[in-house]
Amino acid sequence: MHNKLENMKLLLEKANESLEVAKSLLQDGHYGFSASRSYYTMFYATEAILLHKDLQFSKHSAVLSSFNKEFVKEGTFPTSIFKSLQKGFELRQEGDYGLIPVEQEEAKQLLEESLIFVRTIRDFLKKESYDV
């Protein structure tokens, strides 16, 4: 069984791997799948930061809602970071299940936002004395 710090590290490694895959998919013209991977980049980072407060959830909606409640509404992060996560969730739905294709510019923008998102989460955790 992993401890909290090990789980945070594993989730952030998954976020980094997902980000690399999102970049590759974007370059190859797979915009919907790139958007999906960009969302998962943010999702894994969100799961990692929720562990800071010993919170874990099995549903995406619960992860997003808890992040908003615990870190955005209480002022740790700006609303804009949560909006990126929400947009990622919506584009992932479109990319994975929708009939309307994700546009190149949407996928590119989400990729950039996911990079900022992960950097923000990692910086916060380092500031909280986690070696991640």
Instruction: Give pLDDT tens digits along the chain (132 positions).
Output: 579 999 999 999 999 999 999 999 999 999 999 999 999 999 999 999 999 999 999 999 999 999 999 999 999 999 999 999 999 999 999 888 888 899 999 999 999 999 999 999 999 999 999 998
Sign (positive or negative) of CA dihedral 35, 36, 40, 43: positive
Question: Which residues make Cβ contacts (< 8 Å) with residue 120, sequence separation at least 6?
Answer: 77, 81
Domains identified in the chain and CATH numbers = 4-127 (1.20.120.330)
Q: Are 12 and 132 a contacting pair, CB within 8 Å?
A: yes
pLDDT of residue 1: 58
